Amino acid sequence: MRSFQRRLSEFDARGVRVVGISVDPPEINRRQSQKQGYTFPLLSDPKTKIIRRYDVLHPGAGPKGADIARPAEFLLDSNGIVRWVNLTGNIAVRARPDQVLEVLNQLTLAGQ
Using CB under 8 A, pick the residue from 6, 37, 61, 105 that binds another protein: 61
Least spacing, CB of residue 68 vs another protein, in Å:
5
| Residue 6 contacts another protein per CB under 8 A | no
Helix (H, G, I), strand (E, B) or coil at 37: coil
| φ, ψ at 23 (rounded to 5°) | -80, -5
| Residue 9 contacts another protein per CB under 8 A | no
* Cα–Cα distance measured from residue 37 to residue 23, given in angstroms and rounded to the nearest whole number: 20
* Cα–Cα distance measured from residue 86 to residue 75, given in angstroms and rounded to the nearest whole number: 9
Using CB under 8 A, pick the residue from 6, 37, 93, 105 that binds another protein: 93
Amino acid at 70: R
Q: Using CB under 8 A, list all residues that contact another protein.
A: 1-4, 11, 14-24, 26, 28-30, 32-33, 38, 41-45, 50-51, 53-59, 61-63, 68-85, 87-96, 100, 104
